[in-house]
Amino acid sequence: MSSLKEFQVTFDCADPVRLARFWCEVLGYVIPSPPEGFATWEEHHHSLPPEKQVVYFACSDPSGKGPRVLFQRVPEGKVVKNRVHLDVRAGTGLVGAERLATLEAECARLVALGAVHVRTLYADDDNESCINMQDIEGNEFCLD
């Protein structure tokens, strides 16, 4: 039996470049260098005819440990809750008030980038605190 070596996470979206830039800020990922001869991706995109405008855009973990994240343009908007979502592990190893303070600080940073704070789930006897959020296109994710 062969084991999985690598995978990427793919988001359907309206604006691949904008969403990739948002998630780079969230995850500490990087966008690849633009093609040779172009100073920026925007310059490259504007050089293309309309039928070849950006449909896909990706970002990656600069350490090479995390999965590549691909954003692909689709014609339809988001209608229902995601069936899969990312858990952004901002509070790993922390508990109680220290964990909640860390999550709230990260939530404030992401809200400043355009994310939406949906709700905070406070610690109980079984689970530590986490925060439900939405990215700039409404995709759900959790800070935990």
Based on the fold, state whether residues 59 and 100 are members of the same structural domain.
no
* pLDDT tens-digit map of 21-73: 999 999 999 998 888 999 987 788 888 887 777 778 899 999 999 999 999 98
Quick one: CA dihedral 19, 22, 26, 31, positive or negative?
positive
**Average of per-residue pLDDT values in the chain:** 91
Taken as a whole, the chain contains a residue count of: 144
Based on the fold, state whether residues 16 and 53 are members of the same structural domain.
yes
Higher pLDDT pick, 84 / 95: 95
Position 138 scores a pLDDT of 95
Residue 15: what residue type? D
Distance CA 139, CA 72 (A): 14
Position 75 scores a pLDDT of 86
The percentage of residues in the chain with a pLDDT greater than 90, rounded to a whole number, is 67
Q: If we measure between CA atoms, which residue out of 13, 17, 14 comes closest to residue 58?
A: 17
φ and ψ at residue 136, rounded to 5 degrees = -70, -10
Based on the fold, state whether residues 12 and 64 are members of the same structural domain.
yes
Position 6 pLDDT exceeds 90:
no
Position 1 pLDDT exceeds 80:
no
Based on the fold, state whether residues 90 and 66 are members of the same structural domain.
no
Based on the fold, state whether residues 64 and 97 are members of the same structural domain.
no
Based on the fold, state whether residues 68 and 24 are members of the same structural domain.
yes
Q: What range does the domain containing 25 cover?
A: 8-73
| 81 lies in some domain | no
* pLDDT tens-digit map of 59-71: 999 999 999 999 9
Based on the fold, state whether residues 68 and 14 are members of the same structural domain.
yes
Position 86 pLDDT exceeds 80:
yes
| Among candidate residues 73, 99, 119, the one where a domain is terminated | 73
| 2 lies in some domain | no
Q: How confident is the model at residue 2 (pLDDT cuts 50, 70, 90)?
A: low
Position 4 scores a pLDDT of 63
| 138 lies in some domain | yes
Distance CA 76, CA 99 (A): 37
126 three-class SS:
coil
| 136 lies in some domain | yes
Global model pTM greater than 0.75:
yes
Position 99 scores a pLDDT of 96
Number of domain units in the chain: 2
